[in-house]
Amino acid sequence: MAHPNYPHLFEALNLGFTTLKNRFVMGSMHTGFEDHLNELNRLKNYFVRRAQGGVGLIITGGYAPNRLGRLTPFAASFNSKKMIRAHQNLTKAVQAAGSKICLQLLHAGRYSYHPFSVAPSRIRSPITPFTPFAMPGLLVQMTINDFAKAAMNAKEAGYDGVEIMGSEGYLVHQFLSKRTNHRKDKWGGSFENRMQFALEIVRATRKRVGQNFIIIFRISLLDLVQGGSTPSEVIQFALALETAGVTLLNSGIGWHESRVPTIGSMVPAGAFSSVTGELKKRLKVPIIAVNRINRPELAESILAKGEADLISMARPFLADPDFVLKSEKNQAEEINTCIACNQACLDHIFQGKKASCLVNPLACEEEKWNELFLKTKTSKRVAIIGSGPAGLSSAIAFLEKGHQVTVYEKSDSLGGQFKLATLIPGKSDYRESIRYWKTRIEHLGGKIVLNQNVNDIETVRAFDEVVIACGVKPRDPKIPGQDLPHVYFYDRFLREQIKPASRIVIIGAGGVGFDVATYALHAGSDEDRNPAHFMEHWGIDTHAPGGLSTVKPNVMSPRKITLLQRSDAKFGRTLGKTTGWIHRLELKRSGVKMIAGVQYEKITEQGIWIKGKDQKTTLIEADQIILCAGQVSEVSLVKKLEEANIKFHLIGGAKLASEIDAKRAIREGMELALI
Ligand code: NAP
Ligand code: SF4
């Protein structure tokens, strides 16, 4: 019987020789465990947990087909008997838990971060320091064989199939594109010739693994770089891949070197599914839609519109391994939604750390946490003061352990700093976290008391445990004249949704300074939810070569915004590795002026007087001045509790405000309850 809410998502997909039980695919994403055999058990636990959560098909992080194709010098390649044996336990365990699993084969080509990188031509990428060697014809043929051999190895290791990474600017994609393929031999020149490397890989792989093995090819639908494929070339290539023997196509959007955001929080939900839909009309094999799909109703609507046959999500399964089960049980409100922040997943990987998830610190640490959730035998009464990320995550963990929890919040709604984040254009998904925390606390029987500022100790005296999670308040930069009416602390400016004026100066260029600048640029509008606006804003034209419009987008702001910092360091250095460039680019192209190395002298009705690096004092005229000078802990209750000799715990920003972020706050809240 069809599922009442998600009939398409829960329909099985018969691939002829095998059947996928539903249309959910956990997309490929590196965790950091892939590269060390002694960490394979952790990778297994991570996948098994997602398989238990009901996902139909899992695709692993990328494995190189040979040593030259490794992303980093010590990354794994799937080319040894040792590798086959090591993965057999993993595949068996995932399949026993009910999912199918495919291994991704990824040759990094010129994106390799080592001096022996190879590519079709000797052209360095703008995002790596190494110039690749151009592959001689013999090496091209050997690499094709290595792909086929690695796929066979995957079959022997028990995988249900492989995904060949042919997009995002990696080697196979580099052969396809005239941007990176300047060869004069049979592998270069015409589009027909440039396709052959990919097609030969698919043919050789199919020949080696036989018919009853899934071959997914990740094809780039929009390159989002100059010199990218045209829409008709994408169709020609997709049809040739079908003939060559692929089972499924997966959608790829953008090269890694593209300067257009494709997965950041500012990308509207499901922004690229229509591009998959256009290709699907021409295909016989099923196709997978990807990028910024993080809610079951959105996934269902993409399938219902006929834009895709399967939906791939990677980060949403880090955020909630039970995404599928909760959808199936019509408990979508209880899904811990991925907010596309990248802070604990991709940023960690780019820093050489293990992946985790900001909203779900359990991700990739399954074995560490599982037993900590065992119910307590001594249930306590716990008061949590403050309802930001630290307080709410702690409340859930205490409740899961079997304690009785009351959350006190002085305002009329939950969320703390996340509430402010929801007001920034491109961050509206942060609402989903607040929704999740609230639903989960209510479901687990926790009590939420709003509009109560706990400043008398009698309220908390009756509890066994008191947790102070009051968060932070803005740091006072103490600039003479800051009490004038056109000066605002950032929290008031955002909370009261003050209309941005024509000339704005922002004091402090941390994450909050950047957020406030973005708010001011867009005048607080919610236009980020609109895919058409996003496409126009970033110069995307899905009918143009490479998906890029020839008309430069007009993004200059009518407002004059100036961002100031005292240090001489690079602006936005504290922003995330994988998203900081987007925020910097967005502000620069909108004409935001950034001045470093300043000293603040005084604020007057005309604006702010600063001393620059040249020691000259100048006035920056401004109608509004916003103070974003960091935060200090909000601990007014602490002293009273100490005086009354009541024990308490401090977590999140209330414990340490310096560079507090939600990742640390959520983890601390959870650890307090569980460890
Ligand atoms: P922050 O990152 O510590 O930045 C504070 C800014 O204020 C700095 O630019 C600092 O620069 C300036 N400042 C510090 N003391 C000052 C003083 N006494 N007078 C004048 N200026 C002063 O704090 P935040 O921006 O409030 O962000 C808080 C946390 O949230 C951070 O961990 C941040 O990464 C995170 N966050 C991240 C994002 C994002 O990634 N998009 C967005 C929002 C928040 P100078 O000392 O050079 O002047
Ligand atoms: Fe999503 Fe952020 Fe978690 Fe990554 S860290 S999975 S982007 S919520």
Dump pLDDT digits (tens) for 586-616. Answer: 999 999 999 999 999 999 999 999 999 999 9
Instruction: Report pLDDT for 371.
Output: 77
Q: Tell me the CA–centroid distance for residue 407 and ligand 1, in Å.
A: 28
Q: How far is CA 391 from CA 57, 202, 318, 409, 594, in A?
A: 35, 51, 21, 10, 35
Pocket test for ligand 1, best of 512, 575, 660 (most atoms within 8 A of CB): 512
Q: Are strands 472-474 and 631-633 parallel, antiparallel or unpaired?
A: antiparallel
48 has pLDDT over 80? yes
Instruction: Report pLDDT for 128.
Output: 93
* Contact indicator for 18, 100 with CB cutoff of 8 Å: yes
Mean pLDDT across the stretch 571-581? 93
Measured CA angle at 363 (ends 310, 394), to 5 deg: 125
The predicted-structure confidence for 659-673, as pLDDT tens digits, reads as follows 778 999 999 999 999
576 Cβ neighbours under 8 A, 6+ residues apart: 341, 342, 343, 347
417 Cβ neighbours under 8 A, 6+ residues apart: 388, 389, 471, 472, 653, 662
Rounded Cα distance between 307 and 194, Å, is 28
> Ligand 1, closest atom to CA 574?
34
Phi, psi of 118 (to 5 degrees): -125, 160
Rounded Cα distance between 274 and 314, Å, is 19
The predicted-structure confidence for 254-296, as pLDDT tens digits, reads as follows 999 999 999 999 999 999 999 999 999 999 999 999 999 999 9
525 has pLDDT over 80? no
Match 């999740």 to its residue by tokens.
436
458 Cβ neighbours under 8 A, 6+ residues apart: none
Instruction: Report pLDDT for 108.
Output: 98
Task: Please tell me the number of Cα atoms within 13 Å of 303 on its side-chain side.
Answer: 24
The predicted-structure confidence for 206-221, as pLDDT tens digits, reads as follows 999 999 999 999 999 9
Q: How far is CA 8 from CA 2, 21, 56, 409, in A?
A: 8, 12, 13, 41
Q: Tell me the CA–centroid distance for residue 565 and ligand 1, in Å.
A: 9
Give the number of the ligand closest to the Cα of residue 661.
1
Instruction: Report pLDDT for 210.
Output: 98
Confidence of residue 189 (pLDDT cuts 50, 70, 90): very high
Confidence of residue 637 (pLDDT cuts 50, 70, 90): confident
Instruction: Report pLDDT for 529.
Output: 66
Catalytic residue chosen out of the listed positions 159, 170, 488, 519: 170
526 has pLDDT over 70? no
Nearest CA to ligand 2 atom 3: 357
Instruction: Report pLDDT for 530.
Output: 82
528 has pLDDT over 80? no
Mean pLDDT across the stretch 140-166? 98
Q: How many CB atoms lie within 10 A of CB 182?
A: 13
56 Cβ neighbours under 8 A, 6+ residues apart: 13, 20, 21, 22, 23, 24, 25, 99, 100, 310, 324
Q: How many CB atoms lie within 10 A of CB 126?
A: 9
Packing angle, helices 296-304 and 273-280, rounded to 10: 30
Q: Is 473 exposed, middle or buried (0-12, 13-18, 19+ CB in 10 A)?
A: middle
Judge whether 488 counts as a catalytic residue.
no
* Contact indicator for 307, 273 with CB cutoff of 8 Å: yes
Closest CA to 539 of 281, 226, 330: 226
Span(s) in the chain for CATH 3.50.50.60: 476-629
Top-tier CATH class for 370-472+636-674: alpha beta
Nearest CA to ligand 1 atom 10: 508
Packing angle, helices 137-156 and 191-209, rounded to 10: 30
Tell me the pTM: 0.95
Q: How many CB atoms lie within 10 A of CB 491?
A: 18
347 Cβ neighbours under 8 A, 6+ residues apart: 576, 577, 578, 579
CATH superfamily ID and name for 476-629:
FAD/NAD(P)-binding domain (3.50.50.60)
DSSP at 342 = -
Rounded Cα distance between 627 and 507, Å, is 5
Rounded Cα distance between 362 and 366, Å, is 6
Match 């960091």 to its residue by tokens.
630
DSSP 3-state assignment of 649?
strand
Top-tier CATH class for 13-367: alpha beta
Q: Tell me the CA–centroid distance for residue 421 and ligand 1, in Å.
A: 14
The predicted-structure confidence for 474-515, as pLDDT tens digits, reads as follows 999 999 999 999 999 999 999 999 999 999 999 999 999 999
The predicted-structure confidence for 557-569, as pLDDT tens digits, reads as follows 889 999 999 999 9
Q: How far is CA 384 from CA 120, 391, 469, 631, in A?
A: 59, 6, 7, 21
Mean pLDDT across the stretch 148-158? 98
Span(s) in the chain for CATH 3.40.50.720: 370-472+636-674
DSSP at 482 = T
Q: How far is CA 502 from CA 488, 507, 621, in A?
A: 15, 16, 10
With a Cβ cut-off of 6 Å, ligand 1 is lined by 475, 477, 507-515, 565-567, 574-576, 583, 628-631, 659-661
* Contact indicator for 561, 504 with CB cutoff of 8 Å: yes
Instruction: Report pLDDT for 554.
Output: 77
Mean pLDDT across the stretch 57-78? 96
Instruction: At 578, list the tokens.
Output: 């994988």
675 has pLDDT over 90? no
Average pLDDT, the chain: 95
Match 């100036």 to its residue by tokens.
562
Rounded Cα distance between 260 and 613, Å, is 33
Nearest CA to ligand 1 atom 41: 511
Confidence of residue 527 (pLDDT cuts 50, 70, 90): low
- Look at 338 and 524; give whichever has higher pLDDT: 338
Instruction: At 36, list the tokens.
Output: 């060390």
H-type alpha helices, 385-450: 389-401, 417-421, 430-443
The predicted-structure confidence for 98-145, as pLDDT tens digits, reads as follows 999 999 999 999 999 999 999 999 999 999 999 999 999 999 999 999
> Ligand 2, closest atom to CA 318?
6
Give the number of the ligand closest to the Cα of residue 318.
2
513 Cβ neighbours under 8 A, 6+ residues apart: 490, 506, 507, 563, 565, 628
DSSP 3-state assignment of 299?
helix
Nearest CA to ligand 1 atom 15: 629
CA torsion 191-197-203-205 (nearest 10°) is: -150
Residues paired with 405 in a beta bridge: 382
Instruction: At 494, list the tokens.
Output: 């955002």
Span(s) in the chain for CATH 3.20.20.70: 13-367
